[in-house]
Amino acid sequence: MAETALEFYEEHVPGFLIHHKQDPSQMNVFHRHQGYEIVWLKEGEALYVFEEKVYHLRKNTILLFKSSEFHRVSLRDGAAYERVVVMFTADFFTFDHVLLKTFFDFLDQLPFPHFMLDLFVWDMDKFQSIIDNLLLENDNKNNWQQKSALEIYLMELILFLSRSMKIDQEANHQLDWASERQKPVDFHDQIVKEINEVWNTEWRLDTIAEHLHISKYYLCRFFKKEFGVTIQEYILQRRLFEANRLLTDTTMTVQEISEHVGFLSASSFIRRFKERTGVTPNQYRKKQTDFRNGN
Over the stretch 126-158, which tens digit does the pLDDT of each residue have? 999 999 999 999 999 899 999 999 999 999 999
Task: List, for residues 26-68, the tens digit of each pLDDT value.
Answer: 666 778 888 999 999 999 988 898 888 899 899 999 999 998 8
pLDDT at residue 226, rounded to an integer:
83
Q: Which amino acid is at 35?
A: G
CATH 2.60.120.280 in the chain, residue ranges: 5-177
pLDDT at residue 181, rounded to an integer:
38
Task: List, for residues 205-254, the tens digit of each pLDDT value.
Answer: 999 999 999 999 999 988 888 887 899 988 998 899 889 889 988 999 99
Compute the mean pLDDT over every residue in the chain, rounded to the nearest whole number: 85
pLDDT at residue 172, rounded to an integer:
59
**Alpha helices for 172-202 (secondary structure H):** 177-181, 187-198
CATH 1.10.10.60 in the chain, residue ranges: 187-292
| Integer Cα distance of 39 and 69 in angstroms | 15
Q: Which amino acid is at 191?
A: I
What is the fold, at CATH topology level, of the domain defined by 187-292? Arc Repressor Mutant, subunit A (1.10.10)
**Burial of 41 from C-beta contacts in 10 A (0-12 / 13-18 / 19+):** buried
Whether the per-residue pLDDT at 257 is higher than 90: the answer is yes
| Integer Cα distance of 285 and 282 in angstroms | 5
Q: Which amino acid is at 135?
A: L
Instruction: Find the mean pLDDT for residues 87-106.
Output: 93
| Integer Cα distance of 116 and 64 in angstroms | 6
pLDDT at residue 180, rounded to an integer:
41
Whether the per-residue pLDDT at 175 is higher than 60: the answer is no
What is the fold, at CATH topology level, of the domain defined by 5-177? Jelly Rolls (2.60.120)
Whether the per-residue pLDDT at 8 is higher than 70: the answer is no
